[in-house]
Structure formats: structure tokens, C-alpha cells
């Protein structure tokens, strides 16, 4: 490793002189492939996030999303999906991959590709799994082996259209420790697969602050990602899984106005009152969001890497459509202004681009407009090259 580092150190000035934008070999490949995943949607709750009452079985895999959903995604104007999958039920004690779930996941990827969409295969385990990774070296070793097995299985997939995201929202407290372990996973995958582009992120749930602490990998064929839900006071109002004081919050508007006294006084907790007051005085609107995302773009230029935002969205239940659409438009505009690809959260969940009611799936046209998508006419979907 030390010998390799010395070679890289002496070669770096030459490489940089040849290509000042991409000093790491392979980064030009990642930059080219990023053009295939510019505007996508997360396919959540299909192969991950099922909860205790829904088994990982053929019935769920075959009915939660169908080929009609994938066709609708393509017709709506997206160019890719981020297909979340829980690696834990795939990991058998003997180190092999569980065949039934793997077969169902393969079928889903086949359907996505057949509809002209590209796909990010996102390892999206539950929190206890990620917490074990943060403290247990045996779990870390097993996860590296899993990724080797999984990458080997997916080796047949076109690397221009299929991407591997190593871990959704890591829960490591130490950015340095996570960076070191993430690079171990990269090395493990590269031992069996030199072709596919890998998607990496920061510690502590992949927020933008943690992105800024990543030491870029020596491997250039990677795309970095971050998640953007700021301010959570607006995007997660009423969400039961977030901070407790957000659960009773209703009626917060976007963009923020300073005078939030009436809504603040209506909060049942002092934390909620303070949160609402802060929201008003923190000047949340396009200018703030655009400047924040501009810092992420600065990081890519400083490190000569490429970047995407794999999650952003607004919880639907307690936000007004006009406010939700304005926030989505502002974030999408800021990302595109800075050359950053995006994948909205999510397709049919609590943040959904579509609403499922009475057996029907209806596209939220306001969100489609906010995302500046260009829907295709029925029958216009074709497989990508």
C-alpha cells in the first residue's frame, strides 16, 4: 500500500497536468456515466424498509411495484431509479446469497432496464445493521464479503447503466473511521469488478456536512452523493420517525417568514416552539438553499470528483402542495445549477411522486412540474443503449 501511495504521489502532478479536471484515473468514466443518472426517483419499500409486519417474500416483491409502475416512471420523464434493497436478508450464514430474494431483485432490475431506465442498486439496511457495522469488525468483514459476492453476481450487468451504492446513510460517528471502512468495501468490490461505477457517501446519514469531511477514494470510478432534506422543520413536519417535537407540528409554510410567533406558541413543547422560531429567522428560501448546495459543488471542484444528490423530498401528509412544490423546485434548480444529479425520495411512499388510492396510481402533476420533467406519451418508452 505504501509503495502504491508513493507511486501515486509522484504520478499525480503528471496526471493533473494531462487532465486538470480529473487527476484520478477513472473519474472521467464516472463523469460520463453521471449523465445517465441526472433525474431519478427512489423505489423504496420494495426490497427494503418493509417493517416487522411485511415479510421479504415473493408475494410482496411481485405486487408492491409491477411492470406498470416502472413503465409509468419512464413515461413521467425520469432517467433512472434508485432501487433500495436490504442486504441483510440476502446474506446467508454460509456467505452465499439468498436465492429467492436475489431472483426477485434480478427480475426487478431486468424490468427497469427493459424500460429504458438506468438503475442504482442501493444497499439500504435497517439502522441496527448499520450500528453493528459502526462498532463490530466481524460485521464489517461480512459486509465486504457480501459486496464481493453481490458484485460478482451483478458482473453481467452493463456498467454504463447499473451503479452500485455501497451503503445508504452510514451511522458511523467518526468520519475518518467511516472513510477508511468505505475504502475497504471499495477495495473488496474492485477485487472482483473493475468496471461498475460505485456511489459513495459520508458518515452520519450522508448529510452535506459529512460529505465535506470525506477523503476522496484513490479509485476514480466513483460518484459521491449526499442527502438533502433541509430544513427538517419543514420537510419532516408531522413525521413520526424523526425528532419528537416534529410529530405534532402542522402548518409550517415555505419559503419561511420571520413572524412565526402564532405557530410557535401553538406548539405543545418548548423544543417545538424553539424549532419553529428558528425556522422563521433562518431565512429558508431559494437563496439559502442555492448557496448551501453551492458549497457541495465547491467540494467537487476542490477534489476533482463528481456528485449526485440521491435523496431529497418533503413528507406529503402535513405540507401544502404549493409549499412542497416550491421547495422541490428550489432544491432541484439549485442542484442543476451546480451540475449535480438528483434522485427524489420517493416513488409511492410518504414523500411520493405518485399517490395510490382505491387501487389506482395517480401521478402528482405538481411535483412533476416542480421537477421540470418532460413526460413521454404512452408507447414512447424504449430500452436505453
Quote the pLDDT of residue 18. 34
For Cα atoms 358, 66, 112, give the angle at the middle one, nearest 5 degrees: 140
CA distances from 278 to 265, 312, 316 (A): 13, 21, 22
Instruction: Kindly indicate the confidence band of residue 379, based on its pLDDT and cuts at 50, 70 and 90.
Output: low
Nearest residue to 225 via CA among 78, 80, 9: 80
- In degrees to the nearest 10, what's the CA dihedral of 291, 227, 204, 170? -150
Q: What is the CA radius of gyration of the chain?
A: 21
Q: pLDDT (tens digit, 9 = 90+) per residue, 339-374?
A: 999 999 999 999 999 999 998 999 999 999 999 999
Quote the pLDDT of residue 24. 80
What is the DSSP code (8-state) at residue 350?
T
Instruction: Determine which helix (DSSP H) or strand (DSSP E) holds 182, and give its type and residue range.
Output: helix 175-190
What is the DSSP code (8-state) at residue 338?
T
Q: pLDDT (tens digit, 9 = 90+) per residue, 262-313?
A: 999 999 999 999 999 999 999 999 999 999 999 999 999 999 999 999 999 9
For Cα atoms 318, 324, 328, give the angle at the middle one, nearest 5 degrees: 145
Q: Is 13 exposed, middle or buried (0-12, 13-18, 19+ CB in 10 A)?
A: exposed
For Cα atoms 210, 211, 215, give the angle at the middle one, nearest 5 degrees: 100
Neighbours of 383 (CB within 10 A): 11
Instruction: Kindly indicate the confidence band of residue 19, based on its pLDDT and cuts at 50, 70 and 90.
Output: very low
228 HSE (CA, 13 A, CB side):
27
CB 283 within 8 A of CB 233: no
Instruction: Kindly indicate the confidence band of residue 378, based on its pLDDT and cuts at 50, 70 and 90.
Output: low
What is the DSSP code (8-state) at residue 97?
B
CA distance 318 to 82: 25
CA distance 124 to 157: 20
Amino acid at each position: 500500500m505504501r509503495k502504491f501511495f508513493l507511486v501515486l504521489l509522484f504520478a499525480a502532478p503528471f496526471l493533473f497536468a494531462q487532465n486538470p479536471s480529473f487527476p484520478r484515473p477513472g473519474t472521467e468514466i464516472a463523469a460520463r456515466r453521471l449523465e445517465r443518472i441526472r433525474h431519478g426517483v427512489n423505489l423504496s419499500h420494495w426490497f427494503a424498509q418493509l417493517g416487522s409486519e411485511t415479510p421479504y417474500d415473493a408475494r410482496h416483491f411481485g405486487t408492491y411495484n409491477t411492470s406498470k409502475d416502472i413503465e409509468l416512471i419512464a413515461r413521467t420523464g425520469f432517467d433512472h431509479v434508485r432501487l433500495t434493497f436490504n442486504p441483510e436478508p440476502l446474506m446467508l450464514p454460509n456467505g452465499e446469497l439468498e436465492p429467492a430474494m436475489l431472483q426477485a431483485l434480478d427480475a426487478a432490475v431486468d424490468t427497469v432496464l427493459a424500460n429504458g431506465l438506468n438503475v442504482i442498486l442501493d444497499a439500504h439496511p435497517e439502522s441496527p445493521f448499520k450500528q453493528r457495522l459502526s462498532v463490530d469488525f466481524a460485521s464489517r468483514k461480512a459486509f465486504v464479503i457480501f459486496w464481493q459476492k453481490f458484485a460478482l453476481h451483478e458482473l453481467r450487468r452493463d456498467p454504463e447503466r447499473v451503479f452500485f451504492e455501497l451503503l445508504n446513510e452510514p451511522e458511523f460517528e467518526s468520519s475518518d473511521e467511516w472513510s477508511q471502512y468505505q475504502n475497504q468495501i471499495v477495495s473488496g468490490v474492485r477485487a472482483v469488478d473493475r468496471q461498475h461505477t460505485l456511489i459513495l457517501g459520508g458518515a452520519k446519514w450522508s448529510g452535506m456536512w459529512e460529505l465535506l469531511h470525506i477523503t476522496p477514494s484513490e479509485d476514480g470510478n466513483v460518484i459521491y452523493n449526499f442527502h438533502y432534506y433541509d430544513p427538517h422543520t419543514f420537510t419532516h413536519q408531522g413525521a413520526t420517525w424523526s425528532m419528537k417535537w416534529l410529530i405534532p407540528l402542522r402548518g409550517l409554510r415555505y419559503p419561511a417568514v420571520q413572524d412565526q410567533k402564532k405557530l410557535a406558541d401553538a406548539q405543545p413543547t418548548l423544543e417545538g416552539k424553539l424549532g419553529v422560531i428558528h425556522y422563521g429567522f433562518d431565512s429558508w428560501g431559494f437563496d439559502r438553499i442555492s448557496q448551501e448546495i453551492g458549497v457541495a459543488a465547491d467540494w467537487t471542484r476542490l477534489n476533482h470528483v463528481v456528485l449526485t444528490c440521491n435523496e431529497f423530498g418533503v413528507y406529503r401528509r402535513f405540507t401544502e402542495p404549493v409549499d412542497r412544490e416550491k421547495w422541490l423546485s428550489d432544491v432541484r434548480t439549485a442542484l442543476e445549477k451546480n451540475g449535480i444529479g438528483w434522485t427524489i425520495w420517493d416513488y409511492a411512499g410518504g414523500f411520493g411522486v405518485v399517490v395510490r388510492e382505491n387501487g389506482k396510481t395517480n401521478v402528482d402533476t405538481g411535483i412533476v412540474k416542480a421537477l421540470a420533467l418532460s413526460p413521454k406519451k404512452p408507447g414512447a418508452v424504449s430500452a436505453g443503449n
